[in-house]
Amino acid sequence: MLYTTKKGRVSSGEAIGILLLDTAVPFIPGDVANATTYGYPVRFQKVEGFSVARALDKDPGVYDALKSAADSLVAQGVRAVTGDCGFMAVHQRRLSEELRVPVFLSSLIQIPFILAMIGEGAKVGVVTADSTRLDDALLQEIGTADPGRVAVAGLQDCPSFYPFAIEETGTLDAEAVEAEVVAAAEELVARETSVRAMLLECSLLPPYAASVQEAVGLPVFDYVTMIDYVFSAVVRRRFSGFM
């Protein structure tokens, strides 16, 4: 078999490229920014100057840095590009038009898919880092035709999550954060009885997905479900077995 490469590529075998915020928090297993989360190699690229604050503010001024980082990932051979903040959704449309590989920046782009699964009249419950910033305009930007079918719970007032995730204190009490995430999900489901599936928006939340599911008894989607799904499409495996 004959193999070829392009000048400037320094490694191979990383099909998924992940754009990271310019942040400093503990990335525990299950976090989007922890390589052991995945059963396959991934390539990370920090977007210089793209802070948590700028992500939550949906700052259009970060786009050039985002595009440059995405171009770097593509140059290194990734087959698809994702992100690590649901609020990157504001850049989804433009980057997908300008990049030559599939782009799936935000966990939120799963919402139309989930809504199609659960039927008319049902809602998807979203646990987000900050519910005050997750508005109808952002949901519509990623293809949610009826934002009224999305019920949202925010973690912005949680005393363990907020300092770790937003203020970037550098310390994470995983058990305390897990309790806050589970409580937010339980309260949301109790308040919105038509919720039939959950989505964890923030890239820091997948470590707690199993506990959320155990608490509410519903399908739970997050960044990792999305990344695994796209990986399975861009790296197809041959089947083996017997009849």
CA distances from 152 to 15, 33, 93, 159, 185 (A): 32, 24, 23, 19, 9
Residues 6 or more apart from 67 whose CB is under 8 A from it? 95, 98, 99
Tell me the fold of 107-221: Rossmann fold (3.40.50)
Average pLDDT over residues 188-196: 97
**Mean pLDDT of the residues in the chain:** 96
Q: Which residues of 1-10 are buried (b: 16+ CB within 10 A; e: fewer)?
A: eeeeeeeeee
**pLDDT value of position 4:** 82
**pLDDT value of position 7:** 80
- Decide which of 3.40.140.10, 3.40.50.1860, 3.50.50.60, 3.40.50.300 is the CATH code for 16-106+227-234: 3.40.50.1860
Q: Where are the domains of the chain?
A: 16-106+227-234, 107-221
Neighbours of 187 (CB within 10 A): 13
Residue pair 18/43 in contact (Cβ under 8 Å)? The answer is yes
Domains 16-106+227-234 and 107-221 are alike in CATH topology: yes
Residue pair 210/187 in contact (Cβ under 8 Å)? The answer is no
CA distances from 124 to 43, 92, 218 (A): 30, 21, 10
Predicted confidence band of residue 26 (pLDDT cuts 50, 70, 90):
very high
Give the span between the Cα atoms of 81 and 215, in whole angstroms: 32
| pLDDT of 45 strictly over 90 | yes
DSSP 37: G
Q: In the Cβ-directed half-sphere of 97, how many Cα atoms lie within 13 Å?
A: 4
54-87 per-position pLDDT tens digit: 999 999 999 999 999 999 999 999 999 999 999 9
Predicted confidence band of residue 128 (pLDDT cuts 50, 70, 90):
very high
For residue 159, with 0-12 CB atoms within 10 Å meaning exposed, 13-18 middle and 19 or more buried, which class applies? Answer: exposed
**pLDDT value of position 150:** 97
Predicted confidence band of residue 211 (pLDDT cuts 50, 70, 90):
very high
Strand partners, 123: 195
| pLDDT of 205 strictly over 90 | yes
Predicted confidence band of residue 10 (pLDDT cuts 50, 70, 90):
confident
**pLDDT value of position 51:** 96
**CA nearest to 182, candidates 231, 135, 218:** 218
Render 91-156 in DSSP notation, one character per residue: GHHHHHHHSSS-EE--GGGGHHHHHHHH-TT-EEEEEES-TTT--HHHHHHTT-S-GGGEEEEE-T
Tokens of 235: 């790296």
**What percent of the chain has a predicted confidence (pLDDT) above 90?**
93
Q: In the Cβ-directed half-sphere of 186, how many Cα atoms lie within 13 Å?
A: 10
Give the span between the Cα atoms of 147 and 166, in whole angstroms: 25
For residue 152, with 0-12 CB atoms within 10 Å meaning exposed, 13-18 middle and 19 or more buried, which class applies? Answer: buried
**pLDDT value of position 86:** 96
